[in-house]
Amino acid sequence: MNRTLATGALMSSLLLGACATAPSPPPALVEARGVVLGAETDPAVNALAPLELKKATDTLARANLLMTKGEPQAEISSAAYVASQQARTAMAIAQAKGNDTAIAGSEADRERARADMRTLEATRARGQADVARAQTGVAREQAAQAEQRASGAEQRASGAEQRASGAEQQAALALAQAGSAQMQSAELQQRLTDLQAQKTERGMLVTLGDVLFESGRSDVKPAAQGALLKLAGFLQQYPNRRILIEGFTDDVGAAAYNQGLSRRRAEAVDAALLGMGVSAQRMATVGYGEEYPVASNTSDTNRAMNRRVEVIIADSDQPVRARR
Amino acid sequence: MTQLHFKTGRLWRLAPLAAAAVLLGACASTPPPVAQIAVGKAAVERAAGSAAAEAPVELAAARDKMARANEAFAAKDYMLARQLAEQAEADAALAEAQSRSVRSSRALGEVREGVRMLRDEMARK
């Protein structure tokens, strides 16, 4: 085959076709028809890009018209290409506007989400404020209770203090009393010691010896004054104590005479004490004569010991028990 | 077709071309498309301003077509110049529209992401 011939034949037929009615639509027009149909049937395009869509459909109509009129193929193809691009433009515009609407909706969502967040934070903050207020209330109550307890404790403390001071006073008093009682007892002891008193079961015994009396006589010698004064002083100090004055002799002489002598000596001591201020009701006298010797009457010394007056001081405020 | 024989000779080689020239001349009796060239140029320039980042391919096609339109115009091929200018205008418009679509998609994505993050933060509290 002659290549030149074939090329020439092909070109001729194409050129002839360009000026003559093409038997079938060029590919560009077929494609354009498809793209524009797609845009036409898209509801978004119809709603959001109607003007751009109209441009495309108009251009396609022009291309179709060019075809039916038998215009050059290049012209048809170019118009078809433009229609395709315009249809795609319409779709892109619809997409963009759809996005813009969605953006507005999302921005509203974002603002709503922000508002919800702020509400949540406000609610939480309010909740925390409520909790803090409740805690403050509890704390205030506790403080008030503590104050009450403190004041109650204070009252009790002051009451206890008063009682304590009262007890202290009592203790001091008791101590003082004890002290004074001790002092008294010590003093008593001292005095009794001074008196040379002996403790017996009937009371304290003070013995006034023979030297204080003239032999055979019952009047008290001045030497006895000292001892009797001490005794009188003691009895004044302890006014509730009674005494019993007992007289004794040795066995020289008649028993009856000695009985009388012993009684008279006891009464002499009574009289002397009376003269020293001791009241008579406190004193009792008795004579025992030769009875109850303290030593055997076998020597002068012993006999002298038996010649005595015994003064028994009661331990209490009761009378002294008699010997028998 | 191998049996087909036309008249051979150098002159016959030129015959189809001559015929093409005649035919082309007959179909190309259009006035210079000055207005269309201007419109095309303006469209490409506007698209270049807004679509350069998001639709580079479409913009390059528009520029290319416009350049070829100018060439055809200079070569007095007015039909071709007009066709190319029209195509360039359509390409430029598409470039702009696609650029706008890309930007709005991106913005929508960002806002949605922001909402999602806010909701996540609230859910965590």
- The per-residue pLDDT for range A279-292, each reduced to its tens digit, is 999 999 999 999 99
Percent of chain A beyond pLDDT 90? 37
User: What is the pLDDT at residue A192?
Assistant: 74
B2 touches chain A (CB under 8 A): yes
Distance from CA of A101 to the nearest CA of B (A): 9
Assigned architecture for domain B31-124: Up-down Bundle (1.20)
User: What is the pLDDT at residue A194?
Assistant: 79
**For B65-104, what is each residue's pLDDT tens digit?**
999 999 999 999 999 999 999 999 999 999 999 999 999 9
Each domain of chain A, given as residue ranges in start order, spans 9-153, 184-313
- Yes or no, beta carbons of A5 and B4 under 8 Å apart: yes
**Is A315's pLDDT higher than 60?**
yes
B61: nearest CA in chain A?
A85
In this complex, how many residue pairs, one in chain A and one in chain B, have their CB atoms less than 8 Å apart? Answer: 116
B78: nearest CA in chain A?
A75
The ipTM value here is 0.76
**Is A212's pLDDT higher than 80?**
no
Least confident interval from A35-39, A136-140, A176-180: A176-180
A207: enclosing H helix or E strand: strand A203-208
Q: A127 or B25, which is more confident?
A: A127
Of B94, B100, B108, the CB nearest to A103: B108
**For B33-70, what is each residue's pLDDT tens digit?**
999 999 999 999 999 988 778 888 999 999 999 999 99
**Is B24's pLDDT higher than 80?**
no
User: What is the pLDDT at residue B120?
Assistant: 87
Q: B55 or B10, which is more confident?
A: B55
CATH code of domain A184-313:
3.30.1330.60
Confidence of residue B11 (pLDDT cuts 50, 70, 90): low
A82 touches chain B (CB under 8 A): yes
Structural tokens at position A80: 């078809």
* Sheet containing strand A198-200, strands side by side: A198-200, A203-208, A308-313, A243-248, A283-287
Closest CA to B40 of B79, B6, B83, B10: B83
Whole-number Å distance between alpha carbons of A76 and A62: 8
Closest CA to A11 of B84, A68, A19: A19
Asked if residues A235 and A241 have their Cβ atoms less than 8 Å apart, the reply is yes
Chain B, residues 84-123, CB within 8 A of chain A, namely 84, 86-87, 89-91, 93-94, 96-98, 100-101, 103-105, 107-108, 111-112, 114-115, 118-119, 121-122
Closest CA to B47 of B99, B82, B101, B107: B99
Confidence of residue A317 (pLDDT cuts 50, 70, 90): confident
Say what the pTM is: 0.49
When mean pLDDT is compared over A23-27, A115-119, A124-128, B56-60, the highest value belongs to: B56-60
When mean pLDDT is compared over A141-145, A184-188, A191-195, B100-104, the highest value belongs to: B100-104
Chain A, residues 141-200, CB within 8 A of chain B, namely none
Least confident interval from A56-60, A104-108, A123-127, A208-212: A208-212
Backbone angles phi, psi at B41, to 5 degrees: -60, -50
- Yes or no, beta carbons of A89 and B90 under 8 Å apart: yes
What's A220's DSSP letter?
B
Least confident interval from A61-70, A96-105, A148-157, B9-18: B9-18
**For A3-28, what is each residue's pLDDT tens digit?**
666 665 555 555 554 555 556 889 99
H helix runs in chain A, sequence order: 3-19, 27-40, 43-48, 50-69, 73-195, 223-237, 255-275, 300-306
